[in-house]
Amino acid sequence: MAFAWETKNQTIPWGNINFSNNTPNIGDTNIAEAGTLDLEWNRLSLYTGNDTYRRLAEGSVRTIAGLIAPLPGLAAQGVSPATNEFTDNMITWGGGSDSYFEYLIKYARLTNTDDNLFADTWHTAVDSSIKSLLRKSIVGDHLYLAGRDDEGKIVHASSHLACFNGGNWILGGKLINNDTIVDIGLDLVEACWNTYASTETGIGPEDFQFISFDSFQPSDTRPNAQQRQFFEKHGFFITTPYYILRPEVLESNFYAWRATGDTKYLGRAASAIDSFRKFLRVDSGGYSGINDVDDANINRGNRMDDTESFWYAEVLKYLYLTFDDPDHISLDKFVFNTEAQPFEAPPAKPVYGSGSIIPPTGPYVMKAPGAPLPAISPIPAL
């Protein structure tokens, strides 16, 4: 995989490699692909004694974090390995960006580095999100993280993928000793769980939007009559109704349980298990995705002929650990990568980061709109 760095001076890897000849496919990538190797490759260097892996992966994150971002700490989604520049202006905690932000604080914890860049960049991203992206729905007062489109306009949208944010904010807030961030993280967990509690199957959708107190923006979906009726009851409306066995809502539920000890999170995990057994289980004993989480008629073509690996790696693991002894794979001793693989960490430092956000180093220059969005669904048909 190190062939993704074509030259010695290249700091951001190309997104794809032809392994038959170890040749990278030249093209733009996104911050999730380029910024989500450092946990794994740091451990690889530790266990092999070859520091090349750490240097490459960490160098990519450092490059992204060092670019002037659309909002302080909030890197744009698209990035070019050829120029070390962002290729668009989009901001999201969802697919294409998600795990870059996730790994900033986790890398600081796993390595106990004295370099505050990672924790402070995460802290800065969260601070900017609180100031610019947090929105409440006009129904239900649910707290969501909005995004920004290529024109720099707010998008009142979120996704199952983005629902990792609550657990990440809980973890990071604990590590930087910031109770405000922990509390907001818990509110984000509540809003994401509401997407499960509101559907006919008790399972949340792939994508959803909401109406807030600020005005509609160009990239917002204006709800049709059925969506508006759903919103008036639940505080969000579904824009992409399928569920492909994603883990993020239950991942954040796990972090909320471990952080608070509130047994409501056990009840929610149990409710999800009941829904999975009822609507996802197939006769052969496996589990499949469904096309519409708000359709409880499982005999009406609502099945996908597909089971994703993250069902086993993440969903079942986070459910198992929610009901397990909290001292087993304790969050005080382990850091989970983005696919829920636990890495043993050294004893925690008293605090991570300097406690300060990183000031902008200059004005952000808007990129020409139109950069291609990353393909974030593993199912080709979607």
Residues tagged active-site:
206
Q: How far apart are the C-alpha atoms of 273 and 7, rounded to whole Å? A: 48
DSSP summary character for residue 161:
G
Contact criterion met (CB below 8 Å) for 137 and 212: yes
323 CB neighbour count, 10 Å cutoff: 11
Q: How far apart are the C-alpha atoms of 10 and 7, rounded to whole Å? A: 5
DSSP H stretches of helix in 9-51: 31-34, 38-48
Phi then psi for residue 70, to 5 deg, are -55, -40
What SS3 class is residue 145? strand
Using a 10 angstrom Cβ sphere, with 0-12 exposed, 13-18 middle and 19 or more buried, the burial of residue 114 is exposed
Question: Which pair of structure tokens corresponds to residue 313?
Answer: 């790696």
Question: Which pair of structure tokens corresponds to residue 274?
Answer: 């009941």
Half-sphere exposure of 371 (CA within 13 A, CB side): 24
